[in-house]
């Protein structure tokens, strides 16, 4: 396992999980990369709100 990564288990609503897997398959982007990008954007948005 890569040293700068940590494995996590999460639970998602079935509809969201199915969409995520289908999107991943269609775009050939791993689910972990999609989730990582979404969380980074979420973090940036919420850090900006906190600084206001």
Domain boundaries, the chain: 14-51
pLDDT tens for 9-20 read 999 999 999 999
Q: Which residues of the chain fall below pLDDT 50?
A: none
Neighbours of 17 (CB within 10 A): 13
Distance CA(13)–CA(18), nearest Å, equals 9
- Name the burial class of residue 20, with classes exposed (0-12), middle (13-18) and buried (19+) by CB atoms within 10 angstroms of its CB: middle
Closest listed residue to residue 39, CA positions, set 18, 12, 14: 12
* pTM for the predicted model, two decimal places: 0.79
């Amino acid at each position: 396992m890569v040293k700068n990564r940590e494995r996590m288990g999460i639970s998602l609503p079935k509809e969201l999980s199915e969409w995520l897997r289908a999107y991943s398959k269609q775009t050939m982007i791993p689910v972990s990369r999609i989730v990582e990008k979404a969380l980074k954007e979420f973090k940036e948005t919420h850090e900006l709100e906190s600084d206001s």
